[in-house]
Structure 1
Amino acid sequence: MQPAFRPTGGALGAALLFVSLSAQAADAQKNAAETTLNSVTVVGNWLENPNAAKVLEHPGARTIVDRETFVESGATNVRDVLRRIPGVQVQDSNGTGGSDISLNVGVRGLTSRLSPRSTIMMDGIPLAVAPYGQPQLSMAPLALGNLQDVDVVRGAGSVRYGPQNVGGIINFVSRAIPQTFAAEASVESDIYSHGGSVKTTPSVFVGGTNEQGLGGALLYSGTYGNGYRESNDHVNIDDLMLKGAYRISSTDQITAGFHYYEALAGMPGGLTAAEYAANPFQSTRPFDNFSGRRTDFNLKYSHADADRKWEVLTYYTDSFRGSNIQSRPASNGTVTLNGAPRNYHTFAIEPRYAQVFRSESISHEVGVGYRFLREASEEQATRTASYLPGSTFDAANAPMKLTSGSVGGTTANAVYIDDTIDIGNWTITPGLRYEFIRSYATALTPGKPDVRSDVSANEPLPSLSVMYHVNDKWNVFANAGVSFGPMQYFQIVQSTNNLQPEKAKTYELGTHVEGLNGWAGELTLFNIDFSQELQLNNGEWTNLGATTHRGVEAGLRYDFSKIAPTLAGLSAYATYTYTSATFNQGNFAGRDLPFYSRHVGTVGMRYERNRWSFNVDAFAQSKQRSPGDPSTSTVYQTAESANGALGDIPGYMLTNIRAGYDIGKHAKVAFGIKNLFDRRYFTRSNDQNFGKYVGMPRTFHVQATLSY
């Protein structure tokens, strides 16, 4: 049995540092107790306009990465940005999520395969094709070039946002409509040392607002080119957004948006142990690819004054995602090309209202909200006739035969109420969300009768958070909440393996510091208890039973100009996460869950002088496990299997460097190297496209930006 929780030296060091800050706190400018209740203004939707002040006032673990930070890090996709955030672990593209279109992110040891455990949104609108019935992000319809901020809330969000939020909330914030005319064009390219392939990301932004309060913006970002694996890695991604806003008065505004995303990318596929040893960059899968399209519209009316805020948001999404994956050879050596075309539609309306009530010694911000959401799905499985690899059979253009499918739908109603109570230095927020969910899925098998299955859930999800304001730059918080994951369409039609909805209890204890004598940071202890957790193994969902996720997250930033003026422009940051995520029952009881690292850390420095900026960043993670399926095996496998799917995954460390130069007021250029020391690393997959996947080799990165 592994210990339930064991602080490491890094975690203890971070804790001691935060304790030492208490001595400095006495010199802070003013205590929060001196702030009069009359100055309290309503917050309303706390995901809007994220900034450092909102992080400081949030009673839970929360990190925001702004555009300047991820541009200077040389990030070309959201995976690179999310790796900087404590508690967040990102898998490189692998398995059936093995394209540049997918997103594989896990929080606090939760499964990262296609990001099913977090509520992931852009501008408050879910990115999943079907938030209730198909939350996986095999298609993540967003491009980094269109984003302004990445906001990650690891806890204390279950009341206002759901349903899949045991892994917190990730909100990608698109670039805002500027108050005056602005335009920008940029291009970034990754040039891989292995094979010399190039992947390019162009972006365009133009927008502004006139004197009458009418504004608009056009945002475009794409990705084109080849990756570092041989064959199958051709990427073509286009992401277009149109945004409009009209300020009716000083307190009222209407906003609208249109978003179109289209993508096609190859999937090089997994390699066996022998294939990887011969050439880790090869591909044995000439036809595997993934494609997707999404169109969505949104409209919002909002009112905001000192005492109240209310808004009504409505949105509609129309999504298609499809894949072609070659099967593993049969005993006679033949294979088939298997397709998975799927269509989804989602409509939702979300009104919410918040108002502040004040008295002499106490203030309340009462928030209420409601969401009606309806979604529909149509999923198919198709395949070609059998063929021998390398034969004259044209698998890419061969007709596909329908083998199975399903249609499904969900009608969900969710209501919430919370009350933010300010008493002196204390803020206490009790809340309750109630989910009413009705879903169905009908299995369609050619030649057999249709089989319909209906499920429903009425789930109360309470939460409570408490925060103490040490001063206006430092607070301490604790929270507890219940999160719920409803049955997905594929799980509904799968009648075996005792599948049930997931439910988890989450607890946090932590602190935030912002701008205290040059320091900023966070420290959080967390605990997640699953009553039962579902996992996909070899195309089948299984019930792992109870699991526990515990750990500590720490992040620090320091501005060296506080030491001496000669150090102006020099800053440093570091993050560290320790996670223990284990099976509580079954054949693997007490052992680590698959595909997460117990130790993850980052460290970096930035120096700016005159027109130059320099960045050095490093990322490291400890080993991961791929032990097999506890429902079918009693052996927790650590040695590598011949097919490359199972066995331990060694840890690794990557170092990146970058230098940027401002040519003038309107032009910037930069050059960098990712994986500076060409560290060879890999991950595995145990789904249908199983095997070993090599990581990114040394990569040269260039950026150029023109702005007006």
Structure 2
Amino acid sequence: MKTTYTTAALLLGLSAAAQEAPATTFADDSTAPRTKYLTEITVVGRNSKSDYQQLPEIVGTSIYAGKKNALIVLDNVQGNVVTNTMRQVLAKVPGIHVWESDASGVQIGIAARGLSPNRSWEFNVRQNGYDIAADPFGYPEAYYNPQLQAVQRIEVVRGQGSLQYGPQFGGMVNYILRNGSEITKPFEFETQQTFGSNRLFNSYNAVGGTSGKVHYYAFFDHRAGDGWRQNSRYLSDAGFGTVTYRLTKQFSLSAELMRSHIRSQQAGGLTDAQFAQNAQQSFRARNWMDITWTNPALTATWQLNENTRWTTKLSATIGDRNSVGFMPGAGIRVADTINKATLAYNNRVLNEDSYRNYVLESRFITDYRLGLMNNTVSFGVRGYTGNTHRLAEGKGTTGSDYDMSLAPGGRYDRDINFGSQNVAAFVENIFRINKKLLLIPGVRYEWLKGDASGRIGYKANGQDSLLQNVSRSRSFVLAGVGAEYHVTPLTEIYASYAQAYRPIQFANLQAPAAINYVVDQELKDSKGYNVDLGYRGKVRNFLQFDVSAFYLQYNNRIGNVTENGVTRVTNVGNSVSQGFEGYVEFNPVRAFTTSTTADLIVFGSYSYLDARYKQQSNKALENKRVENAPQDIFRGGITAGYKGFLITGQVSHVGATFSDANNTEAASANGQVGLIPSYTVTDLSASYKFGKGFTLKAGVNNLADKRYFTRRAGGYPGPGILPADGRTAFVSIGAKF
């Protein structure tokens, strides 16, 4: 199989086998020829200043032909990567809705096409190709996301990606970590130190090297600060190490380990009146969240021949999520004050989750001849087992610092075990009908099982109130088809249709045995499909674009229905999301001059979304707008550069959204329900490369000091309005030796 070096990867590969690639240099990514096949070992694009690329038809053992996708190269992002500012990092991916409610971006919440950004749970979130969410089936919240300084690139795949990666209507987001595979000497040291507003300090340090058949890379990242709001201190430490041993030129083994610890003070929510008075204020000083995440992985890669590649990955997620705080049912309207009877604060509430998940995935890809054309088939299998142990509603101490100790005589009201198992297999094929037309059908088989058992409370006599004996197993097949037609060597029309699903969540399996609250025994997974039709590509080296229309059918949405005094967890109806997503980037310097020292990049991304409830059992919701679904999202900017200097101005506009399915406009007294107004934010950043391996970066987020919010929380970490940050600034210096 022929390998052509192109735009898709920058500088680095995914494995140490990059050292086997022949040295090739291009003046710029945009001038590279079109890719037919790209392995995970590509070294290209050293002089490109663009952070946005398209994924080629094939990367490693994965097929991306015909799919709506984007590749973000972090080294070229002109923005605040240190604080995971996703509106800047994903500015060129149209339609990405970002929740900006965590200090310093310690947790990332993104979505698209009218889906919820809640900890990115509508995406299949991966790191280096393996799952990192709490449980990708029963509880797909991504409590941990890698620090973006440690990320080499981000792959975003919509629609048909569900056939290769499984659940989630939103598609797949894969964070590819730096592994130093471009390092050819025995030892190299990299460091970046950042200082910023609100006592922000970040220190990223890495070492790597190659010696004989062994390649290694490791980093440690520390970040801490006070946060823009009161009571929003945070601390984040992350360490990663990987070693690759090449037994032969064709076969390699890699081992990696990531460990992350985050502790953040939760400032809590605000009412609308409090937000208008002072968005930085906080009425919760005793709320904390603590997250410890460990991800080990072993990968075997075998390049059987020029046309055939096989990978097997064994990975695990060992995570703990703890929270402690004063969280009364009435929300922020209840003040956290000294109890006059005890002369102390009231007891806080404790919640502990432990996640233990193990995954084996094996994938195979090969070329074969059919008629006159060379076709490609990729197939794989997956086995998964996971357990979540949840201790909830414990009686904590009356203290103020992070403390998960039970009060004397205290206990956890809830003690529940959730289990999930999965076996899956997929096959996808590229039929090259001729030199211009590709047809890519695929199919995926899924077997899923989820169960729940344990205590959900105590009865009046003090005995345990046990969970219903709940277990759900099912199997089904998902199918899809994609197509590409190459209009020119660098542009193509693409289209895809793919079925998707969202399994029943753990929360839907824990109804008590009480007669007034039941789980529908016929409860079904949410199913539907994505359709994409677009045109994308490049015009020489000065213009790239991707414009498309989409349609997302989301059936069997799960919700609560109350009838005759009984609340039933059931499938309430369907929703439809449809609209337009477009991105264009233009470089007038390359278009109209021959300058090699100056650069100018102008870009814009825009999405129009019409997301509404359809065919509802609750007719009051018929044709209502889906919550958290802005009609318009626009992000644009200009990057100007001369030699080693770059400066970027960027604007982000997000339309108004509703916080509930009833489309309530008037704000509730507790701030949990109501309209989320539109907002426009401007950011400015600059960088300068000097000497040999030295870089200076600086920037200002929210230059106009706009007051806005992206989320009304119904519970933790609110409840109430969670304000986004006002104006902040940073400066950072980096070096390689």
On whether the aligned pair clears a TM of 0.5, the verdict is: yes
Find the counterpart in structure 2 of residue 562 from structure 1.
591
Alignment of 1:196-595 (within 5 A): 197-210=198-211, 212-231=212-231, 233-304=232-303, 305-328=305-328, 336-384=347-395, 399=407, 400-424=410-434, 425-445=436-456, 446=458, 447-448=463-464, 450-451=466-467, 452-494=469-511, 496=518, 498=520, 499-534=523-558, 543-560=571-588, 561-566=590-595, 568-584=598-614, 585=616, 586=618, 587-595=620-628
When residues 368 and 78 of structure 1 are mapped into structure 2, their CA distance, relative to the original with a 3 A threshold, is farther
Q: What amino acid does structure 2 have at the position aligned with 1:307? A: N
Corresponding residue SS for 1:496:
strand
**How high is the TM-score relative to the length of structure 1?**
0.86
Q: Number of residue pairs matched? A: 652
The answer to whether the 8 Å contact 1:41/1:306 transfers is no
- 1:116-174 deviation line (CA, Å, top 9, x unaligned): 2110101011111222221112x1242111100011112211111022x2101000010
Q: What amino acid does structure 2 have at the position aligned with 1:65? A: I
When residues 449 and 625 of structure 1 are mapped into structure 2, their CA distance, relative to the original with a 3 A threshold, is closer
Corresponding residue SS for 1:156:
helix
Q: What amino acid does structure 1 have at the position aligned with 2:208? A: G
- 1:13-41 deviation line (CA, Å, top 9, x unaligned): xxxxxxxxxxxxxxx99998xxxxxx965
Structure 2: how far apart are the matches of 1:100 and 1:227? 10
Corresponding residue SS for 1:114:
helix
* Mean CA deviation greater in 309-318 or 658-667: 658-667
C-alpha displacement of 1:395: 8.7
C-alpha displacement of 1:44: 9.3
* Mean CA deviation greater in 489-498 or 570-579: 489-498
- 1:336-391 deviation line (CA, Å, top 9, x unaligned): 5222101111111111111110245222211111001111110111333798xxx9
Q: What amino acid does structure 2 have at the position aligned with 1:697? A: G
- 1:271-328 deviation line (CA, Å, top 9, x unaligned): 1223223322111111111111112211111112321111111112211111123223
Structure 2: how far apart are the matches of 1:174 and 1:550? 33
Structure 2: how far apart are the matches of 1:72 and 1:401? 46
When residues 332 and 516 of structure 1 are mapped into structure 2, their CA distance, relative to the original with a 3 A threshold, is closer
Q: What amino acid does structure 1 have at the position aligned with 2:123? A: S
When residues 555 and 254 of structure 1 are mapped into structure 2, their CA distance, relative to the original with a 3 A threshold, is same
2:658 aligned with 1:625 = yes
Structure 2: how far apart are the matches of 1:542 and 1:111? 19
C-alpha displacement of 1:45: 12
When residues 206 and 703 of structure 1 are mapped into structure 2, their CA distance, relative to the original with a 3 A threshold, is same
The answer to whether the 8 Å contact 2:52/2:92 transfers is no
Find the counterpart in structure 2 of residue 699 from structure 1.
728
When residues 59 and 455 of structure 1 are mapped into structure 2, their CA distance, relative to the original with a 3 A threshold, is same
C-alpha displacement of 1:529: 0.5
Corresponding residue SS for 1:339:
strand
When residues 374 and 583 of structure 1 are mapped into structure 2, their CA distance, relative to the original with a 3 A threshold, is same
* Mean CA deviation greater in 58-67 or 474-483: 58-67
Structure 1: how far apart are the matches of 2:112 and 2:688? 35
Give aligned-pair identity as a percent. Answer: 21
Corresponding residue SS for 1:596:
coil
Corresponding residue SS for 1:327:
coil
Q: What amino acid does structure 2 have at the position aligned with 1:303? A: W
Q: What amino acid does structure 2 have at the position aligned with 1:151? A: E
Gap runs ≥5 in structure 1: 1-27, 33-38, 192-196, 631-635
Structure 1: how far apart are the matches of 2:291 and 2:400? 28
When residues 402 and 613 of structure 1 are mapped into structure 2, their CA distance, relative to the original with a 3 A threshold, is same
Structure 2: how far apart are the matches of 1:273 and 1:517? 49
Structure 2: how far apart are the matches of 1:475 and 1:392? 58
Q: What amino acid does structure 1 have at the position aligned with 2:77? A: F
Q: What amino acid does structure 2 have at the position aligned with 1:456? A: S
Corresponding residue SS for 1:697:
coil
2:688 aligned with 1:661 = yes
When residues 679 and 41 of structure 1 are mapped into structure 2, their CA distance, relative to the original with a 3 A threshold, is closer
Gap runs ≥5 in structure 2: 1-29, 46-50, 58-63, 340-345, 512-516, 562-566
Corresponding residue SS for 2:119:
coil
Find the counterpart in structure 1 of residue 173 from structure 2.
170
The answer to whether the 8 Å contact 2:629/2:657 transfers is yes
C-alpha displacement of 1:228: 0.6
The answer to whether the 8 Å contact 2:480/2:497 transfers is yes
The answer to whether the 8 Å contact 1:668/1:705 transfers is yes
C-alpha displacement of 1:69: 2.5
Corresponding residue SS for 1:678:
coil
Corresponding residue SS for 2:160:
coil
C-alpha displacement of 1:562: 1.9
RMSD: 3.1
Q: What amino acid does structure 1 have at the position aligned with 2:447? A: F
Structure 2: how far apart are the matches of 1:663 and 1:269? 43
Greater RCO (CA < 8 Å, at least 6 residues apart): 1
* Mean CA deviation greater in 483-492 or 324-333: 324-333
* Mean CA deviation greater in 122-131 or 510-519: 510-519
Structure 2: how far apart are the matches of 1:489 and 1:248? 43
When residues 695 and 220 of structure 1 are mapped into structure 2, their CA distance, relative to the original with a 3 A threshold, is same
Q: What amino acid does structure 2 have at the position aligned with 1:167? A: G
When residues 338 and 603 of structure 1 are mapped into structure 2, their CA distance, relative to the original with a 3 A threshold, is same
2:93 aligned with 1:85 = yes
Return the match for 2:190 from 184, 187, 197: 184
Find the counterpart in structure 2 of residue 148 from structure 1.
152
The answer to whether the 8 Å contact 1:76/1:201 transfers is no
Structure 2: how far apart are the matches of 1:621 and 1:522? 20
Structure 1: how far apart are the matches of 2:241 and 2:593? 46
When residues 656 and 99 of structure 1 are mapped into structure 2, their CA distance, relative to the original with a 3 A threshold, is closer
Find the counterpart in structure 2 of residue 22 from structure 1.
none
- 1:527-566 deviation line (CA, Å, top 9, x unaligned): 11111223699x9977542001111111111122221135
Q: What amino acid does structure 1 have at the position aligned with 2:229? A: R
C-alpha displacement of 1:656: 1.2
Find the counterpart in structure 2 of residue 14 from structure 1.
none
Corresponding residue SS for 1:157:
helix
The answer to whether the 8 Å contact 1:76/1:188 transfers is no
Structure 1: how far apart are the matches of 2:356 and 2:329? 36
Corresponding residue SS for 1:158:
helix
When residues 170 and 214 of structure 1 are mapped into structure 2, their CA distance, relative to the original with a 3 A threshold, is same
When residues 582 and 497 of structure 1 are mapped into structure 2, their CA distance, relative to the original with a 3 A threshold, is farther
* Mean CA deviation greater in 661-670 or 697-706: 661-670
C-alpha displacement of 1:82: 3.1
Corresponding residue SS for 1:679:
coil
- 1:241-293 deviation line (CA, Å, top 9, x unaligned): 10111122222211110111111101101012232233221111111111111
Corresponding residue SS for 2:698:
strand
Structure 2: how far apart are the matches of 1:676 and 1:370? 48
Structure 2: how far apart are the matches of 1:51 and 1:468? 22
Corresponding residue SS for 1:204:
strand
